[in-house]
Structure 1
Amino acid sequence: MKPLIAGGLALMMATVLAYAQTPSSDDLNRRLIERRAVEAVIWGIPAVNTDLMRQEMLTRTPGKVGQVIYWGRPLDWHNQTLTPNPDALYFMTFFDTRNGPIVLDLPPNDTNGSFNGNIVTVWQMPLEDAGLLGVDKGAGGKFLILPPGYNGPKPDGYIALQSDTFGGYMLLRSNLKSHGDADVQAAIAYGKRMKVYSLAQAASPPATVFSDVKDTDFDSTIRYDAAFFEHLNRIIQDEPWIDRDRVMIDSLKSIGIEKGRPFAPSEAMKTVLASAAKEAGAWLAAKYDAGLPPFFSETSRWTFPAPPDVVKAYSDGFADPNAYPTDSRALAYSYAYIGIKRLGAGQFYAISIRDKAGDAFDGSKTYRLNVPANVPVAQYWSVTAYDRATHALIKNVARASRSSQIPDLKKNPDGSVDIYIGPAAPTGQETNWLPTDPARKFELMARFYAPKKEFFDKVWKLPDVERIAITTGGSTK
């Protein structure tokens, strides 16, 4: 009997200890809210990304929904969107179909200019690519954005796009022949040929309003704090539920976000939400640091621009019933924006966050990238440096990129180009220099516009970036 008694006492003590260690209902509720808030950030980041840009437009520029803002010079650090392209002129319009279909009337490619454009929903789900290598093949056209549940007429002569959200935006990149003043002005004039109006106004469209925001501090970087949920709540209030996302209804309700009700978190709730946002941001940063799949070879430090599963989902509209890559989608929209339906047709991007030796890029060091001759693109290639922490253009530097559009870019005897990346230009290499901030880490993105078959066949490969010692002002560093 003694062993049985001892065993019973041990079981009783274990049970008592287990109950003593059980969290209180308040603690359990706090943990649940924090976990659900983390998941809400991961799920909601594409739409919050959109809302951050829209709010910057509404609060910092003269622009309004249904109008067009544009940057009247190649982008510099005043534009703090996520990994933008400084080698095209950006035109951006936000639309709202709540009162009926919206027309995006886009110009054809001709001797005066061309563009690459992408039209997306609030969730940055691509509706269509437009422009030189879009669905219109450079012919331009009238893209008709239809609101959710639309069953009205679809007039002839339009490219009808069915949206599952009322809002969305288009990014039109007016292509530059060079960064010279005359070519910049020509690209602006070409971009201003686009028109935005409602279908109801199609018989006599009003003039589209354009606002140049080149000198505006436009900051839509992701802030992982309690304010993230203010943006997310705005999306929930303004937009319909998409069927695949209805599982989030109760989860969001538990953190205070519910359609038709005000979002008014207590100070204690704000503390929990801020902690959750910070944790989600740290998780995404770690996932990004782990690296995306390599592109040019199995060991290349140049990677795909986004996880392959989210690229596939965006190309087919989440058609696979057994896949919904929200984690990969969150990762992509933590460092970039816009959705591309046919990645690789009009443009392809490659990211590098480490040098050839596998070390993270350090803004106080100097590096060299050798771009081999005969880059297989029909338009241009470029290399841009971004702040590693914010994924935006590096602040307070003279230029953001180097591109094949730069006429005075120095070439080597074999036709290749050496790009020098660091805090100071090597002696005699100022035109090929891409500046960094010595106090911050950085990352690189290589862009290839209108890539050819040889690019994807890996006949041509971009080498890894190498750290070097340089000579400046007579001294070697």
Structure 2
Amino acid sequence: MNDQADSLGNAAVLRRGIEAAIWGVPAVNFELMYREMVDKLGGEYNQIVYWSRLLDWKNQTLTPNPDVIYFMPFFDTSDVGPMVLEIPPADDGVLNGSVMNFWQAAIEDIGPGGMDEGRGGKYLILPPGYDSDSVPQGYVAMPCDTYRGYALVRSVLRSGSDADVATAVEYGRRMKLYPLSEAANPSATTYVDAIDVIYDATIPYDIRFFESLNRMIQAEPWRDRDKAMIDQLKTIGIERGTAFSPSAEARQVLNEAMTHVKAELQRWWARTTPFYDGDRWFFPVSSELQKSIANGFTTPDSYPVDERGWLYTFIYFSARHAGEAQYYLMATEDTNGQALRGDTSYRVNVPAEVPVTQYWSLTVYNRDTHTLIRNARRAGRSSQTPGLSINDDGSVDVYFGPHTPAVESNWVPTDSDGHFEVLARFYGPEQKLFDKTWRLGGIERIAP
């Protein structure tokens, strides 16, 4: 592997491989999404990947939202300098999202819940070390401590009708991405459509993880906070300016390290705090990690690397102002504390008058990969779902399971051979959600 690794032995390589992987999860998560853009779509940096229809199972990113239209501008300022991300005003639609660095740490939110407050604007993404005082008037400065990064932007639907889906696509395509140097006459933004492509950015728990991590190390300069990892990575054969070419023995050790990583991060699920007393729904980000994300991981005496690693095994987004434009509750167990099984049927009641200004949804994911269930005919149900059956009291019962229930329009199919998890989304959340005077029902087992 290298002289340092050889002298330390396999035990050190295993130990340091585990720590390096947990530290590197968010960057690898990003790199895998970008790699799919390049390998599957022929795209590149400073272009926008989007899905021209609502997502289906072929989008194998981590817990994606199948009830909005996705846009993902990938940027690289290393050669072209500052990049402009131009957001349209919230007139014919609503955009919701954040601009993030290579580590998926939010720089700032955009849209009605972001800096432009729905007025639209020109966000100027600045390279590391760029003098923000020299930003021209009329731009929102976005200092970024990495050259590469991306924005996750959702175009929110008025309803789930075909016409409103088409409107959301058209509205989102009003975004522009171009270098500041071309501001006087910007070239047309390149949009790359990923619809009907198996876009697989799942975390690989094997040597491929370290190959991705190496690409990140080669691409980005070290930041002060992460310099403690330089020797750790040298131990496993990753060093700036040096090819990553582990021996067969080293590859075996690193494969074993990733097995330990998956098991270690899996334990974090038991550390979540219930949102409601006596129930299984939880908000998947601790207050410490929320604060760290909001402060760009510069909070004194706090650097929650372990929790960050866990979080980015099942998401690929962070909001600077978490919970303001959208809120999430997650469940992996039923009301009896049993894991959600794909061969079992369940029901959850969504009471009337959900406290949102936009919409609510419930989406099912594969428990092992945190992706949409492959070949599933649908992934979730929402207040936007055409034909959704509503009870006499205004509540909605949503069903999960392998068999079609009597109310087919409210059913989400599961895979009989595996486990699943459910993510509840609330777009435009209101106070009754947070003070819990409105309460989402638990996931109740109904059969077998």
TM-score (norm 2): 0.97
Q: Is the 8 A contact 2:268 2:307 kept in 1?
A: no
Aligned counterparts of 1:274 and 1:381: Cα–Cα separation in 2: 40
Aligned counterparts of 2:32 and 2:299: Cα–Cα separation in 1: 29
The alignment-based identity, stated in percent, is 50
Describe how 1:197-236 pairs up with structure 2 within 5 A.
Answer: 197-236=178-217
For 1:193-251, what per-residue CA distance to the aligned partner results, in whole angstroms no more than 9, with x for missing partners? Answer: 00000000011000011122110000000011011011111111110111111100111
Q: Is the 8 A contact 2:291 2:299 kept in 1?
A: no
Q: Which of structures 1 and 2 has the bigger CA Rg?
A: 1
Aligned counterparts of 1:42 and 1:408: Cα–Cα separation in 2: 44
Q: Counterpart amino acid of 1:58?
A: V
Gaps of 5+ in 1: 1-24, 470-476
In structure 1, the residue matched to 2:422 is 444
For 1:13-51, what per-residue CA distance to the aligned partner results, in whole angstroms no more than 9, with x for missing partners? Answer: xxxxxxxxxxxx979621111100000010000000000
Q: Which moved more, 1:407-416 or 1:31-40?
A: 407-416
Determine whether 1:331 maps to 2:315.
Answer: no
Q: Counterpart amino acid of 2:325?
A: G
In structure 2, the residue matched to 1:348 is 327
In structure 2, the residue matched to 1:133 is 113
For 1:351-381, what per-residue CA distance to the aligned partner results, in whole angstroms no more than 9, with x for missing partners? Answer: 1000000000000110000000100001000
Aligned counterparts of 2:87 and 2:116: Cα–Cα separation in 1: 10
Aligned counterparts of 1:126 and 1:27: Cα–Cα separation in 2: 40
Aligned counterparts of 1:63 and 1:87: Cα–Cα separation in 2: 25
Correspondent of 1:361 among 340, 359, 362: 340
Aligned partner of residue 268 in structure 2, secondary structure: helix
- Cα distance, 1:319 vs. partner? 3.0
Correspondent of 1:375 among 351, 354, 361: 354
Aligned counterparts of 1:35 and 1:223: Cα–Cα separation in 2: 18
In structure 2, the residue matched to 1:60 is 40
Q: Is the 8 A contact 1:74 1:179 kept in 2?
A: no
In structure 2, the residue matched to 1:20 is none
In structure 2, the residue matched to 1:459 is 437
In structure 1, the residue matched to 2:176 is 195
Aligned counterparts of 1:211 and 1:413: Cα–Cα separation in 2: 44
Q: Counterpart amino acid of 2:312?
A: Y
TM-score (norm 1): 0.91
Q: Counterpart amino acid of 2:67?
A: D
In structure 2, the residue matched to 1:252 is 233
Aligned counterparts of 2:232 and 2:8: Cα–Cα separation in 1: 15
Q: Is the 8 A contact 1:105 1:142 kept in 2?
A: yes
Correspondent of 2:56 among 66, 69, 76: 76
In structure 1, the residue matched to 2:378 is 399
Q: Counterpart amino acid of 2:216?
A: I
Correspondent of 1:294 among 262, 274, 282: 274
Aligned counterparts of 1:247 and 1:344: Cα–Cα separation in 2: 32
Determine whether 1:468 maps to 2:435.
Answer: no
Aligned partner of residue 412 in structure 2, secondary structure: strand
For 1:32-71, what per-residue CA distance to the aligned partner results, in whole angstroms no more than 9, with x for missing partners? Answer: 1110000001000000000000000000013221111111
For 1:305-326, what per-residue CA distance to the aligned partner results, in whole angstroms no more than 9, with x for missing partners? Answer: 2233211210122232211000
Q: Is the 8 A contact 1:147 1:164 kept in 2?
A: yes
In structure 1, the residue matched to 2:23 is 43
Aligned partner of residue 31 in structure 1, secondary structure: helix
Q: Counterpart amino acid of 1:44?
A: G
Q: Which moved more, 1:54-63 or 1:383-392?
A: 54-63
Q: Counterpart amino acid of 2:395?
A: S
Q: Is the 8 A contact 2:161 2:386 kept in 1?
A: no
Q: Counterpart amino acid of 2:351?
A: P
Describe how 1:104-183 pairs up with structure 2 within 5 A.
Answer: 104-110=85-91, 112-151=92-131, 153-183=134-164
Q: Counterpart amino acid of 2:289?
A: V
